[in-house]
Amino acid sequence: MHLLFLFLDGVGLGANNPEINPFARAKMPTLHALLGNQTLIADSAPYHDEAATLLALDTTLNVAGMPQSATGQATLLTGINIPAEIGYHYGPKPNADVRQYLTSSQSTQKITEKKFGITIFSWLRAKNKTAALLNAYPDGYFKGINSGKRLYSAIPLAVTQAGFPLFTAEDLYAERALSADFTGEGWRKMLKDEDAPIFAPKAAGEKLVELCSQDDFSFFEYWASDYAGHKQDMEWAIKQLEVFDGVLAGLIKAMPKDLLVLVTSDHGNMEDLSTRRHTIAKVPCLLIGTEEIREKFVEEGLKNLADITPAIKRVFP
């Protein structure tokens, strides 16, 4: 059993409105075929057939205010309703209140002993399972972290606190990891790194399968979707979605029967380009894999972000 968690930052289930929703305009034949010729919008969920399951997850978590990245991601990673615990949504990077749920060495009285080390990565480590964050990080990222000028976001914080390493530029060059945009173009264009390998989207999807077959649990963080929402750039957003659809095509072509693919997000944003802000839209929970494993994943019901970690734990022996 292998599980690949594809995290798409800032992707909600929006309206079928091509004026504001790039999902209603982008050419995404792979995703449309998975969903019975539907697109990834609010009206398409719930959906279930022999190939895929799509559910809608609440991100407000019964807390007033706009959902934010740090608390949303921390909830996904722990199965704890973090906004309810601390009384507010927060982001983009974890503050002290959020960090205490993502680290295993805090002495705060707010977290009981039972809750220490409760991220999915820490749980997997305790179960002697292997896990990896498949994103490669450039040298400048580590320099910023080590100097204190940059803070970890929720996901790499959870990974490192559980004792798993982050992949480096050397791992990218050796094709042991992928760039955050899947294809490597970002490293070439934005980082001016001519040594970065380039993948066509479909080949990147096939590489994802190859990489995630080496561990029990693999995570990939795609943040360009949230960036597209904040930019309100429809053309650029459509391009990102069509690249992702190509990645999905390669992934599905190569995936073995013992792989479950989970695609979800932390809050809405990209689905409504009429605003630069996050939204309160529900987010997709898309599952690709055998019906047996998908049914086990959802057997206790999935209603909000806090239900993801318990579902992941259910499918691991």
In tens, the pLDDT along 1-43 reads: 999 999 999 999 999 999 999 999 999 999 999 999 999 999 9
User: What is the mean predicted confidence (pLDDT) over 157-167?
Assistant: 96
Tell me if residue 140 falls in helix, strand or coil: helix
Contact 51, 286 (CB under 8 A): no
Please, which pLDDT band fits residue 106 given cuts at 50, 70 and 90? very low
Contact residues for 52 (Cβ-Cβ < 8 A; gap 6+): 34, 35, 286, 287, 288, 294
* Strand partners of residue 136: 167
Torsion 273-40-268-223 (CA) sign? negative
Mean pLDDT value across the chain: 93
Contact 279, 20 (CB under 8 A): no
Q: Strand pairing of 283-288 and 47-48?
A: unpaired
Confidence (pLDDT) at 114:
45
Confidence (pLDDT) at 249:
98
Please, which pLDDT band fits residue 207 given cuts at 50, 70 and 90? very high
User: What is the dotted CATH code of the domain comprising 11-249+265-315?
Assistant: 3.40.720.10
Which residue bears the tokens 């480590």? 125
Whether pTM > 0.75 for this model: the answer is yes
Please, which pLDDT band fits residue 105 given cuts at 50, 70 and 90? very low
Give per-residue pLDDT as tens, 127-146: 999 999 999 999 999 999 99
CA distances from 49 to 9, 42, 287, 290 (A): 26, 17, 11, 10
Instruction: Report d(CA 27, CA 103) in Å as an integer.
Output: 41
Give per-residue pLDDT as tens, 240-258: 999 999 999 999 999 999 9
How is the chain split into domains, by residue range? Answer: 11-249+265-315
